Amino acid sequence: MVTAALGNTHWRDNFNVLAVHEDWVPVLLIGEATVPYTTSVERIALVTRNSSTTFLATFVLNDNFGSFSELLMVYIPDATETIQYDLASSYSQAAEAANTHTETAANETAGATAAQVLETDVSGVFTSVAAGDYCGIHVTSDTTLIRAMGLRVVWAN
């Protein structure tokens, strides 16, 4: 049986037919969990982050995870500029310490165009992930304003 659903994409692949799987993970602001989306652009919900807060995403890697095809943080910038951001990840298996694996990347940059969807690769802070890992990522920045949509997680068996 192969089933699929749109939205927060969930694949059920009992026969290992699907070679590539995809999930969409919404982001939240730290300290603002009761308000998951703070603004919208063209009817797309966004989390607005300024230089005084951090946003995060958490997800689990299914048992059929083999490797990332893409791990992309997705934004709709408010201005045409070079954005700066820092990444920090933590991930572990059940019954392991939550910080069994931690990785960081500082002063990453990406060219952004106002109101155009921007994807940034964040897979570099998940170099040792395995099937069954519970994962979290924090994104901080000294850019005045960043508007995040979510995290696109694409993996292969």
Q: Number of C-alpha atoms within 13 angstroms, CB side, residue 47?
A: 26
What pLDDT does 143 receive? 77
**Domains of the chain, each with CATH number or no CATH:** 19-156 (2.60.120.260)
Instruction: Give the global pTM.
Output: 0.79
> Please, which pLDDT band fits residue 44 given cuts at 50, 70 and 90?
low
In terms of Cβ atoms closer than 10 Å to its own Cβ (0-12, 13-18, 19+), residue 38 is: middle
pLDDT at 34 over 50: no
pLDDT digits (tens, 9 = 90+) for 120-136: 999 999 999 999 999 99
